[in-house]
Structure 1
Amino acid sequence: MAAKAVVLHAAMLAATFVGAPAVAQTNDPNLSQKQIDCLSRRTAAGADCEDGAKNGGGQSGAGNAVGGAVFLPSLIVDLFPNPPARPTPAPTQPAPPKSPTSSAAPAPPPSGPITPPTGLNLAAPPRAVSGEFVPDEVLVTVAGDAGAVQRIATTLGLQVRSQRQSRLLGTTLVRYGIPDGRPVGVVLAQLAADGRTQRREPNHIYSLQQAAGIVNYAFERIALDSKQASGENVRIAVIDTGIDDANPALKGVIAGQFDAMPNVPIKKRDHGTSVDGLIAGVGVLEGMAPGAKIYHARAFEGGKSSMDVILSALDWAAEQDVRIINMSFVGPKNDLLGTACRNARALGMVLVAAAGNNGPKAPYGYPAAFDGVIAVTATDAKDGLMPQANRGAYVFISAPGVEMVAPSGTGSDVVTGTSFAAAIVSGAIANLIHAAPDRSADEIEKALAATAKDLGPKGRDNDFGYGLLDIKAAAAAKE
C-alpha cells in the first residue's frame, strides 16, 4: 500500500505542474512589433534578429500565468514548465568529467504608476531561459546599499520583493518582481545594461528527486559494517522538505532546523524524513552514520522550491559550520547556485547531490553537474542502474537507491531515487570524516573515485561514474 501511495502522490504532483506553453509579451509602447519579435526570438546561441525573423524564430522561455497554475503564497507564483526557445543540439563530444577534487522585509514598491523603461541599449540579447522558473521574478546581485537596490527598481520598473546579504555569494542578493508582464529574458537583458548589477538569473524552480517506490541493503553493497558505522558528531546539512522530527528514527538526530519558506504551510514531510533517516537514523531503521548531527533546512513543498529559497537554505547551512551538505534535488543550471556551491567547497564543505531521475536523455541536472559537487546516481540490490536515472559525464559515483526501506512522515516507506542514493553517500562520507577529521573535501573526493567498484564499461562512464561506492576501500586509501 505504501508503494502505491508514493506512485499516486507522484502522479498527482506531475498533473499539478503541467501547464500550457505561453508566448512572450511586453507592455513597452515604444517597441515596434518587429522589435518585440526580435526580443522574443533571440537565443543564447547568438542567432541575430534578422535570421530569427526569417526563420520564424523560436518560442520565448518567458511566459504568463495560465490556468491550472499552483500558488504558494508569498513565495512561488504560477509554477509551470517553460520550454526553451529552441532545442539545444547535443554536443559533438561528451563534456569532460569533473576532476576528483531570513529574507529582509520587502521594500515598498515605487509610488504611483510604474512605467517600463524605454530607450535602453541592451548589453546582450535576451537570455534563452530554460527550465521552470518563477515567471515574474529575477534574482540579482547588487553592488551597493539598500538605496542602490531601490534605485535599480525605480529605473527599470521593478519591485523589491526581498533583499539580504548572502554569505556564500559575498554580496547583496535581491529578488525583484516584474509587475508589468515583461518576459524574464527581456528584464535580464535590461539589467545587464545596468552597471550597478553584478549577476542576473531567473528564479529557477528545482524538484526533489524521488521516484516511485527490501531491508536496507546499502551497508553490504558499499562495504560498510553496520555494527561499526559511525558519524558521531559530524555535522551534516540537509536541504529538503519539512520532516517528522517525532519519528523514532530521528530521535536525537536533528541538531538544528531552519524554515526557508515560513509563509508556506508544511503539508508533506516524507522526503526529508527519509533522507535524514538514511543518513543518520537510529533504532530499527538505522542510517549510514549513526551519531551524526543533522542540520535540516526546509526549502521544499509539494516537491518544488525556488532558487531564492534554496540559496537562503545554503547560507544558513554554511553558518552552521557543517562538513557535508546533502542536496537531493535537481533543476536548471543557475550561476548563483554555482557560485554558492563553489564558495561552500572553498570553505571545506563536501557537497553531495542527486544526479536526477529524468531518464537517459535528460539534460544535466544541477547542482550535481557543477564542478566540486559529488553527483550520485542510484543502483539496485544487484548493482544494476536505476532505469530512470540521468546519464552524463558529470555523474561521479553510484550508490544504492532503489527500493530501500526508510523512515517517512507516516512511519516508514519503500523509497527509490537518486535522492536516496545521495543520502547514502552523505552518510558514508560522514564515516570517513569521523575516522579522520582532518581529511579535506579534495582528499575525500579523490579517495571515492580511486576506490569505487567499476560497473558497466571499463573505467569511468556516463552511467555509473567511477562506479559503486566502496567505503571500506576509501577509508583505507588514506593509510
Structure 2
Amino acid sequence: MVAEAALRLVAILAAAAIAAIPASAQTNDPNIDRAQIDCRNGTNAAGADCTEDGGNDGAGDAAAGAVFLPALIVDLFPNPAAPPAPMPTPRPGPAVSGGNDHGDPAVNGAVISPSDLIAVQPARAVVGDFVPDEVLVTVDGDTGAVQQIAASFGLQVRSQRQSLLLGSTLVRFGIPDGRPVGVVLAQLATDGRTQRREPNHIYSLQQAAGIVNYAFDRIALDAGQASGENVRIAVVDTGIDDTNPALAGVIAGQFDAMPDVPIEKRDHGTSIDGLIAGVGALKGMAPGAKIYHARAFEGGKSTMDVILSALDWAAEQNVAIINMSFVGPKNELLGVACRNARALGMVLVAAAGNNGPKAPYGYPGAFEGVIAVTATDARDGLMPQANRGAYVFISAPGVEMVAPSGAGSDVVTGTSFAAAIVSGAIANLIHASPDRSADDIEKALAVTAKDLGPKGRDNDFGYGLLDLKAAAAKD
C-alpha cells in the first residue's frame, strides 16, 4: 500500500510539473503592442505592467487569444525512452563571483553535468528559423571561463570575440550531441557566468519580386538640392558591385563579416547603397554621403552572430545612421546591440518586412528605437506584401523603383528599398543640421509625416508617408 501511494504521488507531481511548463505563443493581433506581446510570452522585457489593471487580459485570456503559427518551433526534452547522449565527465571549477544569488552551482564553484540539468530546467520555446546545432551566449569571464562552460555543458567553442555593442564576450557554442537548442539554452541558464543565451537566429533580406525613381517627389525632396555630404552611413547587407558607376566614390569602407563564404550575389546591397547615396544617372537620396558597407548576407540569408559582427564594425566607424534592410525573429542580443547603438547617438533604420499582413512582427524593426519602414507605391498605396503592426513607424516609396544592381540596374520592390530611401532622407537632415539628435530626428519624422489610411498612426502606414521638407523645417 505504501508503494502504491508513493506511485500515485509521483504521478500527481509529474502531471503538475508538465502543466507548469510555460509555452510561448506568437500572436497575429495587429492591435497588440510590444509590451502586451512580452506579457503574453512571459518575457516582460520592456518592464510592462502585466497585471489585469495594467492592460493584460490575464493568463487565461492570453492563452485563448493566441494563435500558434507553423513557424513556432518548440524544442522539447529528448524522449526519455531513448538512451541519453554521452556527456563529458564533470570536473571541478573555480568559484565564480558576480553570479546570481539563488544558490546556482556556478556561484559556489561546482560544475554541473548537462544530464543533471535536464531535470531542473524546462526547455525554451524557440520562435523562427535558427542554426539547429548552435547557441549564442554572452559570458562574464575570460577564455578560461568560456572553455570551462563548454566542457561542463558538453559544447564546442566555435567562435568568441569581445563585442563593442553587447559590452561582453560573445561566444558561439556548437552542440555536438544533437540536443535541441531549447534544452541547451535552458541548461546554460543555470550557470551564473552566462549573461544572455539566445539561438543563432537566421535573418532574411527583404526584397520582393520586381519605373523611374519617383521617391524624390513623393517624399518632398528636391533632387537638385539633395545632399548627404560627408554623412557617414553604415549598410549591413549582401556584397556589392563597387565597380557600378552609381557607386563611384560612394563607398568609404567595406567589411566582410563572412569571409569564408564566397560572394555570389551583389544585387541587393548594390541597390541599397545606390538608393541611399548613388551618383550619376541613378542618383540616390543623399549624394555625397559616405557608405560603410558590411557584407553579412549570402543567398539572402545570414545568422545572428554574423549580423552582430557587422554591427560592431559599423559602430566602430563612427557612423550616424545604420541601415538594416533585413527581417528575422526577436533575438535579445540584437535588441541589446540596437539599444546600445541608439545610446551612442546612431539613427537605426530597418525594413518592416515583406511577409504579409498576418505575419508576426519583424525584427530589428520592431525593437524600440529602430525606425521600421514600410513600402508604398507611386500613388501612396501600401505594398500588399508588407508586414503590418504597431511597430511600423513610417512609409516611404519602395515599389517598382529603378536602382543600381550587380548587373547594372534593375526594378526593385520591397520594404528593404523603402528603408534605404528613409536612410538617405535622414542623411539630408543630418547634413543640414549636424547637431540634430536621433531622438529629434525620429520625432520630426513622426509629427510631419503625411497621414495615410486611418487618422493618426496605424498598423499599415505607421505615422504616414515621409515628408522630408516638413521634417527639415521642424525645430
TM over 0.5: yes
TM-score (norm 1): 0.79
Confirm or deny that 1:240 pairs with 2:178.
Answer: no
Give 1:94's aligned residue.
32
1:429 aligns with 2:426: yes
Please say if 1:219 is aligned against 2:216: yes
Pair 1:360-2:357 in alignment: yes
For the 8 Å contact 1:205–1:306, the answer to whether it is kept is yes
Instruction: Please state whether the residue corresponding to 1:144 is helix, strand or coil.
Output: coil
Task: Please state if 1:135 is matched with 2:132.
Answer: yes
Q: Find the partner of 2:347 among 347, 350, 360.
A: 350
Q: Match for residue 445 of structure 1? A: 442
User: How does 1:56-75 map onto structure 2 within 5 Å?
Assistant: none
SS in 2 for 1:356: coil
* Unmatched tracts of structure 2, length 5 or more: 1-9, 37-45, 47-85, 90-112
Deviation readout 1:38-61 (Å, 9 max, x if unpaired):
99xxxxxxx9643389xxx9xxxx
Q: 1:325 to 1:264 in 2, by over 3 A?
A: same
Pairwise CA distance, 1:91? 5.2
- The answer to whether the 8 Å contact 1:327/1:353 transfers is yes
2: distance between equivalents of 1:86 and 1:218? 40
- The one-letter amino acid paired with 1:285 is L
Displacement of 1:127: 1.0
Equivalences for residues 272-291 of structure 1 within 5 A: 272-291=269-288
Tell me how far apart the structure 2 counterparts of residues 138 and 185 of structure 1 sit (CA, whole Å): 9
Q: In 1, distance between residues paired with 2:250 and 2:373?
A: 23
Q: Are the aligned partners of 1:160 and 1:176 in contact in 2 as well (CA < 8 Å)?
A: yes
Deviation per residue, 1:115-169 (Å, 9 max, x gap): 6722227664211001000000000000010000000000000000000000000
| Corresponding position: 1:167 with 2:164 | yes
Match of 1:30 in 2: none
- Equivalent residue, structure 2, for 1:302: 299
123-132 or 113-122, larger mean C-alpha shift: 113-122
- Rounded Cα–Cα distance in structure 2 between residues aligned with 1:328 and 1:246: 22
Structure 1: how far apart are the matches of 2:428 and 2:223?
11
Q: Please, which of 251, 256, 259 is the counterpart of residue 256 of structure 2?
A: 259
Distance 1:48 1:439 in 2: 56
Give the TM-score normalised by structure 2.
0.79
Residue type of the alignment partner of 2:223: S
Give the structure 2 partner of residue 328 of structure 1: 325
Tell me the number of residue pairs that the alignment of Structure 1 and Structure 2 aligns: 393
Residue aligning to 1:268: 265
- Structure 2 residue matching 1:119: 3-state secondary structure: helix
Correspondent of 1:151 among 137, 143, 148: 148
| TM-fit CA distance, 1:357 | 0.1
Aligned to 2:463: 466
| SS, match of residue 230 in structure 2 | coil
Q: 1:444 to 1:270 in 2, by over 3 A?
A: same
Match of 2:290 in 1: 293
Alignment RMSD (CA, Å): 2.4
> Structure 1 325/86 Cα, relative in aligned 2: closer, same or farther at 3 Å?
closer
- Structure 2 counterpart of 1:471, which letter? L
Task: Work out which of the residue numbers 359, 364, 369 in structure 1 matches 2:366.
Answer: 369
| Residue 395 of structure 2: aligned partner | 398
The 1:398/1:52 distance shift into structure 2, 3 A limit, reads same
**Alpha-carbon contact 2:203-2:328 (below 8 Å) kept:** yes
Sequence identity percentage: 81
